[in-house]
Chains A and B, each alone.
Chain A
Amino acid sequence: MDHQSEILSPEVGWILLGLLSLLWIGLGFYWGKKAKGMDGFMLAGRNVGLAFGTATAMATWVTSNTTMLAPQFALELGIWGMLAYSTAAVGLFLFAPLAKRIKQIMPTGYTSGDFIRLRYGSKAWYLFLIISIFYGFTWLISMGMAGGILMNALAGIPYTLGMTIILFVCIVYTVFGGLYAVIGTDFIQSLIIMIGIVVVGGAVLYSIDLDQVYNDLSTDKPMLIDMLLPASIMAIFNNLLFGIGEVFHSNVWWSRAFAIREGIGQKAFTLAGFFWLPVPIAAGFIALTSGTLGVNITSPDMVGPLMAGNILGKSGSIIVFIVFFCSLASSIDSLLAATSDLIVEDIYKRMINPKVGEKTLRRASVIIIVGLGLLAWMVCLPRIGTLASVLFFAGPLVASTIYPIVTGLFWPKATAKGAIWAMLGGSVIGLIAYFFLGWYTGSLIGAAVSIIVTTVFARMNDTQFDWNQLKDA
Chain B
Amino acid sequence: MKHSYYILVFIIIFLVNAGIADEMPQPFFDNAAEITTRSGYQRLSWGVDGMAQMSEPPKFELQQSLSPQFASSAHIYSGADRATFLSGLKDGDYYYRVRVIDPQNNTMGPWSESISIKVRHHSLTLAFTLFAIGAVILLFTVLIVVKGVRNTQIEN
Contacts and interface: CB of A to CB of B under 8 A. Distances in A.
A452 B17 CA distance: 70
A393 B145 CA distance: 27
Interface string A196-229: 0000000000000000000001001111110011
Contact of B121 (A229, A410, A445): A229
A451 interface: yes
A303 B43 CA distance: 13
B138 A90 contact: yes
B130 A444 contact: yes
Contact of A3 (B82, B87, B135): B82
Contacts of A411: 144, 148
Contacts of A241: 134, 137-138
Contacts of A236: 131, 134
B14 interface: no
Given A221-B87, A224-B87, A237 B82 contact: no
Given A94-B141, A101-B152, A229 B134 contact: no
A217 B138 CA distance: 32
A4 B57 CA distance: 11
A158 interface: no
Interface string B102-132: 0000000000000000000111101110110
Given A94-B145, A230-B122, A444 B87 contact: no
Most B CB contacts (10 A, CB to CB) among A77, A78, A234, A448 go to: A234
Interface size of B as a range: 35 or more
A444 B124 contact: no
Interface in A432-473: 437-438, 440-441, 444-445, 447-448, 451
B31 interface: no
B85 interface: yes
B89 A410 contact: no
B122 A221 contact: no
Interface stretch (A174-182, A291-299, A329-337, A365-373): A291-299
A77 B137 contact: no
A97 B153 CA distance: 11
Given A297-B84, A298-B84, A230 B123 contact: yes
B19 interface: no
B122 A2 contact: no
Contact of A217 (B45, B57, B88, B152): B88
Contact of B40 (A98, A101, A229, A234): A229
Given A221-B88, A228-B124, A231-B40, A410 B83 contact: no
A233 B141 contact: no
Most A CB contacts (10 A, CB to CB) among B88, B124, B135 go to: B88
A296 B122 contact: no
A169 to B, nearest CB: 29
Interface stretch (A40-48, A355-363, A401-409): A401-409
Contact of A4 (B81, B122, B127): B81
A11 to B, nearest CB: 20
Contacts of A98: 145
20 contacts: A3-B82, A5-B79, A76-B87, A78-B87, A90-B138, A97-B148, A221-B89, A224-B88, A230-B121, A233-B124, A237-B135, A241-B138, A296-B77, A296-B79, A297-B85, A298-B43, A299-B85, A410-B145, A411-B144, A448-B133
Identify the 9 closest CB pairs spanning chains A and B, nearest first: A237-B134, A221-B88, A410-B148, A224-B88, A230-B127, A298-B83, A2-B83, A230-B122, A231-B39
Interface of B: 38-41, 43, 45, 57, 77, 79-85, 87-90, 121-124, 126-128, 130-131, 133-135, 137-138, 140-142, 144-145, 147-149, 151-152
